[in-house]
Structure 1
Amino acid sequence: MKKQITTLILLASTIINAQETPNDSIKNNIEPDQSLNEVVLTGTMKPVSRTESPVPVEVYTAKYFKTNPNPSLFESIGMINGIQPQINCNVCATGDIHINGMEGPYTMILIDGMPIVSALSTVYGLNGIPNSLVERIEVVKGPASSLYGTEAMGGLINIITKDAAKANKFHADIYTTTWLENNVDLAYKFNIGENVNSLLGVNYFKYANKQDKNNDNFTDVTLQDRVSIFNKWNFKRENNRVANIAARYVYEDRWGGEMQYNKKIHRGGDKVYGESIYTNRAEVIGMYQLPTTENIYTQFSYNYHEQDSYYGADSYHAKQHVAFWQMYWDKVIGKHSLLTGATFRYTLYDDNTPGTLNYDGTKNMPMETPLPGIFVQDEITFNPKHKLLLGYRFDYEKNHKGIHSPRVAYKFTPNKTHTFRASFGTGFRVVNLFTEDHAALTGSREVIIKNDLNPEKSYNGNLNYVYNKTFGFGNFNLDATAFYSYFTNKIIGDFETNQNQIIYDNLDGHAVSQGVSVNADIVFQIPLRVNLGVSYIDVYRKERNEEKILEKTQQLHSPKWSGNYSVSYTFPKRWMVNLTGNWYGKMRLPILENDYRPEYSDTYMLTNIQVTKSWNQFEIYGGVKNLFNFVPKDPLMRPFDPFDNNADDPVSNPNGYTFDTAYNYAPLQGIRGFIGLRYTIR
């Protein structure tokens, strides 16, 4: 490892010394934050500055995520207040993304406005998006189903990739860690003639260093070998009409398990435990503005996802196709900015579990879900101080029939310092039962749908206040949001009534997500910038017990208190220091009956520090992650008997414990150093 780092430093120094000029310096002041003037797309599906948007949208640029580099967006997204990337398995590191405490299936992930990452592929789809191709990330918290349909129930994350015409000619970002995690991120722009620009990105991540710091004979971190190729094309047309298309391919080989596990020998066997997952994924997205006098746009996306995996001796092999098409008309009439369109989404899903068999289990029946919809939105600007947004969407699903999703938002801006927003909306989710509960379906249980399932619905209201003012010391921006969401018809699986069945039914009760989120951004006249965020979130459900009395149950993996921080200071001669981190309060964890492990986690903090030196075209950076070396204790139940061969022994296991991998609340990776190099040709 020392040899790797020394070679990287010598290479960087050689190139840098050849490029540095004696006049290279940096100013000792920082301009006031201009983020409120950034153009956003996500809230209303049309470009508008953040200050003018009636829907609160949070924007995070690629520069923000460079203060704590990570090999995937799944890890980077945790730097955003109120968003929690949650690992749900300590062995294979599968997980999901929580917005305001809601589980992953309630979060919609978009790439350039297209619902490209969903259901089966939520985590694996985010891994392997080259960070060098990301322009910014836009976040809307709360239901957005009136524009984006199913899954946009708890919120959405829109990953905006760079415009090929405006991107740098070449960019490389290479780094390694003391755990021997190696990441290469490359982007190259080229032109074909005067009217075609293309941006090609390649990401390669390799981690093959088995580590067992907690001595439970299991890998602390999942081993990964991943390659991702992304190519985006922009076409110049008359009158600046839009035309672009992009494609991405991802292949990943990941596994975790006992330290003596060998994929070639033990994969799918019952002697040495391991969880091995091969992922093949392909995506295509595009947008085309029709050559008409009116602003009419059509968008499309398609993704294919194949997962070939073994969880111990249990096989799970699934394929999913998702096609999406959308056309909309953007028209301004007086004070009204209208948007209306039609959408169609088609999902085909198949796997090797009982979930895709017919009723008597004799024939394979892949699930097909067509979902057509229409939507309309009217943004009314009464005057510079008052703006009203009205929206409505109608979708038709073959089982749930017609689904209505209205929303209303109001913005009041008395002056440049204060902005008030209030909104109310509904969200819905057409549940794909089997892609979300595949681990439970790898056995021989019979799947029972007790009643005609109604779609899950949510009713959300939030109040947002933004304060932005420049003082003598610098610029201060405060963004505070209070939210309340009420969920009905939550679909749950009953695994306990009959050990040979899984019984699905709508929740006899309701669920609630409520809380307050505050972000503060301070840009000082000296070269210092501070970002602070804190969230209080209370997520629970109430369901009727056998006595028909409502009982309250706190949401798993949802801390009531959490926060993030980022402090950046720029020294002369382009030296910069970044201190970043997250902290989480106690969260409820999935425990077994008579479990000796505590039901609630510890309060903990993950802190990182980075030092960066910049030249004209180069940056060299390095630092320490998890500075205080926090690692959870005893995450695995009975790691010495992963196949439960002796689970029924009343002498050695009087409590009837079974092997369990779901007790997780923080990474098992302790303190580690990292060093990297960036090179850019503009």
Structure 2
Amino acid sequence: MQQIPTLLLASVCAFSAHAALPDNPPTTLSHPLSATEKTAATPAELGRYIALSPAENTEANITGHVLDAKTGLYLPAVKVEIRGRHLSTMTDATGHFFLKDAPVGALEVEFNATGYRTLVKKIETRANHSLLLNVELEADEIQLSDVVVSATRNVTKRRQAPTLVNVMDLKLFDRVQSTDISQALTFQPGVRVETNCQNCGFSQVRINGLEGPYSQILIDSKPVFSALAGVYGLEQLPTNMIERVEVMRGGGSALYGSSAIAGVINVITKEPLTSSATLSHDLRGMGGLNRFENTTNLNATYVSDNNRLGFTLFGQLRHRAGYDHDGDGYTETPKLDGRNVGFRAFAKFTDYAKLTAELHGTQEFRRGGDLLENQPHNAHITEQLQHANVSGSLGYQQTSVDGRHHFNAYASLAKVVRDSYYGGGEVLVSEYLKKAQHTPLTPNELEDMNKRLTSYGRTKGETSVFGAQYAYDFDRFLFLPSQLTLGAELNNDCLEDISGYRPAPIVQKMHNQGYFLQNEWRNEQWSLLLGGRLDKHSLLAKAIFSPRASVRFNPTHDLVLRANFSTGFRAPQIFDEDLHVDNAGGELITIRNAADLHEERSKSLSLSADWYGHCGNWNFNIMVEGFYNHLTDAFSLEQKKEIIGGKEWTIKTRTNSDGAKVFGANLEGRLAYARLWSLQGGLTLQKSRYDKAQKWNDEDSYETRRFYRTPDTYAYFVTTLTPLRGWEFSLNGTYTGSMLVGHEVPLDEHGNLAEFAGRPAATIVEKRLQYGPGQTATIAGPRTFKTPSFFEMGVKVQYTLPVYKYYTLQLHAGVQNILNAFQDDFDRGPGRDSAYVYGPRAPRSFFAGFKFNY
């Protein structure tokens, strides 16, 4: 294994020595190409000639502007690049650009902008002359020209990527009125975001039916999003810091290491493109107009005139009141106060070398339960978390003059500090103290009060990622042009969890060394990718090799057929999203790994067809994907009660089951008529089954092969109408089919259904109960329920008006969850099962706001 880092280091040294020179350099440049030869040359040949040309002050300048083909408005932040040479600039706020000292001769200039089709113009420049180049870009409502990095770890056009990658951009965030990434991810096929705690609002993302720990969340392609950060992290990533989100379904361990079995979500933060500023504020009334959420966003970007230096700043302030849906005095949505601030910057030393830096900080307070204004220990039930998170990265990118060699080195660090309180009881601490002034407390009362006062905890997590990657482009390798990529990555994660009611802290230290190698043969019609990754995880005795193979075939320009196979693994660890006090009230809950627990393995196969087309003003895209994921030694949790030190504990033990299968189909379609109307929708049909029947709780006799909290059917749609200039009407919806959930029905001291405020503490809908041997509708305790299906729909209206020159003001308003589809059987009172929560995350909510742009 030690030979691999040596090979990588040797490759980097070779790159450093030859990056400035192309392959087979001529001995002299005294015989330049003629104008006729330049015109006849292919782009690759022309790029090679440009790379060989000596650097000089040519005074061959290119200037012009870029307009929207339909509206005639000037377009800022359009990338203008000379093909074959890394010389580029961006249009400014007025839509104008200036390229200084361009190469002399026949050139191809490429124009790229988010939401517009790529345009290439052929020109010819002359020394000491300026060329005027004005162009118009046509809108791309179905994202024909998306560029992705998640498929191969290299920049690739989505249509030419060997693996299917879905992209969510700023337009989608805006149309569905998403404040954070968790609200937007639902609008992707095969992806669901669910809430798992009624008290604290913990949420997780599921890809193709597999729960959160099976998916790898990346920040700018780096796996710095740890298990600790993932518990509440989805709500801590504001959309105003994000440029786009790439979703790659299926096994990704061959590229990104452990925990990428279900797929990869790559969050790409905003890169400075052009000087601009945005200020916005949104007001949302939850369940009416008496509980509100306020969100203020600020973005500012500066880019120098020569495009050598740039930075973007972002900030978000967010306040959400606690929301009690059923009026029992206990929140269904926690109170939240959040502050996010960060920046991303770049510096280009030359046209071929770039340094990037990113820093992001989060301060968040959330609390759920009752008596939110009291101290945490002086409430009947409290889940309170206070986060102080910081993450940052530094990256260096170098490309050779001829564009063949690509080197990338990076370092990312993240630190999470979480102060927590999980606890509660029937009697308030203040009542105990008041009683103690007159009557001594009993031993049980003293023990309960002491448990309440010591239920504070602190969790610290530090994650670091260091890596380097090298890629080389072959004109021809064996039978086709190809790109070879190799790299190494070191991931360290250290976590310490201390809780007052646990006898000892949980300490978890892990590190993983990963080495990857792949080669992609490709042309316009074919792509064949073969590669693999070798990982040595500190929790595993042996290294794990994860191979990967992908084939893309374009029988026509507009039809893309893909086949992918990959393997993956998930290492056993104690702390994960499922280590969470989901039954508050001071109950002692912990998790263990079985003595013989070993890694979970997967084999993934997918087949897809991606068809693009247009007819006049109509454009469409239809995607059909079939997937199959076989898990061996799949992790499962067994829950039971144990008496430890005279106290009752809930023990969750992670074991290896016999295996499981997840299979089904994703369908997605996009349809647009000019810029007047667009429709995007997706449907997932799937089955998630264990090889043998499982019980979620030893006290529930119901057994099933079906995964819990995983519907067989779910779907989404987003449609937008722009009838008049400045006006936009959006309608969106999500459908979640029926699924199984576990419910610990609250009991009284006699083992019967508990009561709260003269009413049953739980609503038992008998037709939803699933029966095991010996169970009846009157038996409480741990039971399995089948949820109803939900359809959630929202509408938004916005109007954009010009204010002064380059300033615009956007006003918007709308309703989320118009039909008020919401869970109707929440538990009530302090003994409730806070994990018994499903369906939409919020009831009917009204919102309004503004956005001021420069």
**TM > 0.5 fold call:** yes
* Counterpart Cα distance in 1 of 2:846 and 2:513: 50
Deviation at 1:542, TM superposition (A): 2.7
Q: In the alignment, does 2:812 pair up with 1:660? A: no
Larger Rg: 2
Q: Secondary structure at the match of 1:92?
A: coil
Paired AA for residue 227 in structure 1? R
Aligned to 2:846: 673
Tell me if the contact between 1:108 and 1:118 (Cα under 8 Å) persists in the aligned partners. no
Cα 1:321–1:439 change in 2 (3 A) is same
Q: Give the percent of matched residue pairs that are identical in Structure 1 and Structure 2.
A: 23
SS in 2 for 1:126: helix
Structure 2 equivalent of residue 4 of structure 1: none
Query: 5 Å matches for 1:158-177?
Result: 158-164=266-272, 166-177=273-284
Scaled by the length of structure 2, the TM-score of the pair is 0.69
Q: Residues 62 and 316 of structure 1: is their aligned pair in 2 closer, same or farther, counting only changes over 3 Å?
A: same
Give the TM-score taking structure 1 as reference length: 0.86
Gaps of 5+ in 1: 1-22, 645-658
1:43 aligns with 2:151: yes
In the alignment, structure 1 residue 306 sits paired with structure 2 residue 417: yes
Tell me the residue number matched to 1:20: none
Equivalent residue, structure 2, for 1:380: 521
1:609 aligns with 2:799: no
- Structure 2 counterpart of 1:462, from 606, 609, 619: 606
1:522 equivalent to 2:671? Answer yes
SS in 1 for 2:576: helix
Would you say the 8 A contact 2:604–2:628 is kept in 1?
Answer: yes
Which residue of structure 2 lines up, in the alignment, with residue 351 of structure 1? 497
Distance change (3 Å), C-alpha of 1:446 and 1:522: closer
Partner of 1:120: helix, strand, or coil?
Answer: helix
2:302 corresponding residue in structure 1: 190
C-alpha separation between the residues in 1 aligned to 2:244 and 2:238?
12
Inter-partner Cα distance in structure 2 for 1:497 and 1:331: 57
Larger deviation, residues 627-636 vs 438-447: 438-447
Residues 1:419 and 2:605 aligned together: no
Deviations 1:45-71 (A, max 9, x none): 001101110110111111111002122
Matched residue SS, 2:575: helix
Matched, 1:155 2:263: yes
Per-residue Cα deviation, 1:280-303 (whole angstroms, up to 9, x for no partner): 100011211258774221111110
Q: 2:352, 2:398 within 8 Å by CA — same for their partners in 1?
A: no
Per-residue CA deviations over 1:174-228 (Å, capped at 9, x if unaligned) read 11123421101111113579632111100111113x4433222212321110000
- Kindly indicate whether the alpha-carbon contact (under 8 Å) linking 2:572 and 2:598 is maintained by their aligned counterparts in 1: no
Does the C-alpha gap of structure 1 residues 411 and 299 become closer, same or farther in structure 2, counting only changes over 3 Å?
Answer: same
CA, structure 1 residues 421+191, in 2 after alignment: closer, same or farther (shift >3 Å)? closer
Q: Relative to 1, partners in 2 of residues 1:388 and 1:510: Cα closer, same or farther, differing over 3 Å?
A: same
Aligned to 1:533: 682
The answer (yes or no) to whether the contact 1:26–1:572 under 8 Å persists in 2 is no
CA shift for structure 1 position 669: 3.0
The alignment status of 1:70 with 2:182, answered yes or no, reads no
Q: Does structure 1 conserve the Cα–Cα contact (< 8 Å) formed by 2:694 and 2:704?
A: no
1:336 and 2:485 aligned: no
Residues in 2 aligned to 1:443 and 1:220: alpha-carbon distance in whole angstroms: 20
Shift of 1:346: 0.5
Equivalent residue in structure 2 for 1:397, among 511, 515, 537: 537
Mapped to 1, the partners of 2:665 and 2:260 lie a distance apart of 20
Q: Deviations over 1:493-540 (max 9, x none)?
A: 333285558474542311111111100100114611111211112112
Q: Which structure is higher in RCO with an 8 Å CA cutoff and minimum separation 6?
A: 1
What is the CA-CA distance between 1:350 and the residue it aligns to? 0.4
Deviations, residues 410-442 of structure 1 (Å, cap 9, x unaligned) = 001011221110001011112322233433698
Q: How many residues align?
A: 625
Residue 116 of structure 1: SS of its match in structure 2? coil
Structure 1 residue 96: Cα displacement: 0.6
1:678 deviation in Å? 1.0
Shift of the 660–46 alpha-carbon distance from structure 1 to 2, 3 Å rule, reads same
How far did 1:393 drift?
0.5
Which SS does the other structure have where 2:640 is aligned? coil
- The question of whether the paired residues in 2 share the 8 Å contact of 1:176 and 1:675 is answered with yes
Structure 2 gaps of 5+ residues are: 1-69, 75-136, 286-290, 424-451, 696-701, 746-752, 754-761, 769-784, 803-807
Whether the aligned pair in 1 keeps the contact of 2:297 and 2:315 (CA below 8 Å) is: yes
- Describe the shift of the 1:544–1:499 C-alpha distance in structure 2 as closer, same or farther (beyond 3 A): farther
Kindly provide the amino acid, as one letter, of the partner of residue 678 in structure 1: K
> How far did residue 473 of structure 1 move?
5.6
**In the alignment, is the contact (CA less than 8 A) between 1:450 and 1:503 conserved in 2?**
no
Query: Which residue pairs with 1:476 in the alignment?
Result: 620
* d(CA) in 2 for partners of 1:592, 1:243: 53
1:229 to 341, 350, 360: 341
- Describe the shift of the 1:25–1:629 C-alpha distance in structure 2 as closer, same or farther (beyond 3 A): farther
1:137 equivalent among 224, 232, 245? 245
Match of residue 577 from structure 1:
729
SS of the residue 1:348 aligns to: strand
Closer/same/farther in 2, CA of residues 352 and 225 from structure 1, 3 Å limit: same
Equivalent of 1:631 in 801, 806, 822: 822
8 Å contact from structure 2 (residues 572, 597) kept in 1: no
